[in-house]
Structure 1
Amino acid sequence: MLKAAIFALIASTIVAHAEDCPRKDTLGTARILTVDPKTYPRVGTQSFPDTLPLEDREVVLTFDDGPHAPTTAKILTALSRECVRATFFLIGNSATANAALVKRMAAEGHTIGHHTLAHADLKKISNAAAVEQIDRGISADEMALNGKATTVPTTPFFRFPYFESTPALLDLLQSRRIAVFGADFWASDWNPMTPQQQLELITGRLKAAGRGIILFHDTKAQTAAMLPDFLRYLRENRYRVVHIVPPAAGSSARPSSQ
């Protein structure tokens, strides 16, 4: 019953259609999905049992490891041209070095999540060092975004580097009401390939999955080059982009559409 109610709510409330975009024939953002970490503390079927309540042909676009000036700027431009919003999981050191890009992400309506200070494999270091990586990463991202260093994230979304977590760290993040994002599938863009090869790989995986959270890296030149064609593929094949956001401050809503 709960799942049916959630999907009914999703179907009934659709926002930010392509026709709201000032440019015709764009993909647009189909709807905004509010994800409460209390209800969905861990999502992404490559790592966890649960994922976001997406309908068939709905995708959430996520990017890791930035910002990186030469490529992130191109990715933001491609998303802007199609009126699409995505989620960026930032490396704290990169956010510090590229604060203007962090502010651009926020100004263009994207969601900013967190990905540690320096992309350490948190499973290979002590728990104390791992917590420091998480907290210093959040603090650096928040300083770049809002000019205030704090370990309480504006957006309580986090992704582990390499998807390598520990039970203690998962419990800690859940206790702090920070949602952990895995992915449902990815572009494998850490491997060298041409933009066309990457496009064929990710569209093939999308056809097989039908929906889901997709992982890209905005630090990769091949991804930046491929993205306009991928967004065009989504539009031409009637896929819909869902933008994820946290609950408003002080609210306790379950995952829902706005």
Structure 2
Amino acid sequence: MLAAIALAQVALTASARAADCPRKDALGTSRVLEVDPATYPRVGLKSFPQTLPLEDHEVVLTFDDGPTPGKTDKVLTALAAECVRATFFMVGLNATEYPDMVRKVARLGHTIGYHSWDHPHLNKPTTDEAEANINRGIAAVEKALNGTASTIPSTPFFRFPYFEQTPQLLDRLQKRGIAVFGADFWASDWVKMTPEEELKLLTGRLEVARKGILLLHDPQQRTDDMLPAFLRYLHDHNYRIVHIVPASMKTVSERTH
């Protein structure tokens, strides 16, 4: 409960900062979208038939596998320069090693989701073993955020490593009120390439998709180096950033934007 209150306060502060963005030509965050797991239990067209209700040229930025000092910092700097909010699906092991980074991401107004304890192939073990790994990851991020290792997530957003979900795990998470995120498109930033090559690949895919949930990885140096140019591309081509939050986190102030 304390974590939910703290994150709601962060969201309110972030909204105020976005409204007063010092850069007049910044990309900015266009709107805040409430995501209710009861309505959107599984989203992302790469894995599921449903995705978020986005309009043409709207993009949701998501980053997996952090936090990683230095690299996640660089992503946060690029996002701050454009007054943009994103969602970070964090690995519990990294959150345990770098709790200050978890709190920094939250303090800057970004949404935090979960990405297992140690990024395993969750379709390989038993369902109980896989859920235990998920819970350990949730507890690690929660402990970093508020000092209590709870398996009840403050933000009910989860993404499977490698998108390797099973019907049994999907059912269990849905019963717990946790939305599972896939993606609508990505930059394939796990493949060796230059930042320039990644930017070309990503913008080409975006022009085909025209909107959607974008998957990137903050520990990937090529993505960190590419991100400022990509955000400028979004600005220059009239794309708009949507910041996702749980339904219970959206504040009265944000409803007016």
Please say whether Structure 1 and Structure 2 have the same fold, judged by a TM-score greater than 0.5. Answer: yes
TM-score (norm 2): 0.90
Shift of 1:20: 3.3
Match of 1:51? 51
Match of 2:193? 193
**Deviations 1:177-222 (CA, angstroms, capped at 9, x unpaired):** 0000000000100001000000000000000000000000001000
The answer for unaligned runs of 5 or more in structure 1 is 1-14
Shift of 1:47: 0.2
The whole-number CA distance in structure 2 between the counterparts of 1:238 and 1:98 is: 36
1:76-91 correspondence runs (5 A) = 76-91=76-91
Which residue type is aligned with residue 86 of structure 2?
A
1:36-185 correspondence runs (5 A) = 36-185=36-185
The answer for unaligned runs of 5 or more in structure 2 is 1-14
Match of 1:7? none
TM-score (norm 1): 0.89
Q: Is the CA contact (8 Å cut-off) linking 1:16 and 1:29 kept in structure 2? A: no
Shift of 1:70: 2.3
The whole-number CA distance in structure 1 between the counterparts of 2:42 and 2:20 is: 32
Shift of 1:18: 6.5
Which residue type is aligned with residue 135 of structure 1?
N
Runs of 4+ displaced beyond 2 Å: 15-20
**Deviations 1:7-33 (CA, angstroms, capped at 9, x unpaired):** xxxxxxxx8797631222100000000
Match of 1:34? 34
Shift of 1:122: 0.5
Which residue type is aligned with residue 43 of structure 1?
V
Match of 1:25? 25
Q: Is the CA contact (8 Å cut-off) linking 1:18 and 1:27 kept in structure 2? A: no
The whole-number CA distance in structure 2 between the counterparts of 1:149 and 1:18 is: 31
With over 3 angstroms needed to count, the CA separation of the structure-2 counterparts of 1:210 and 1:69, relative to structure 1, is: same
Provide the identity percentage: 61
Q: Is the CA contact (8 Å cut-off) linking 1:111 and 1:244 kept in structure 2? A: yes
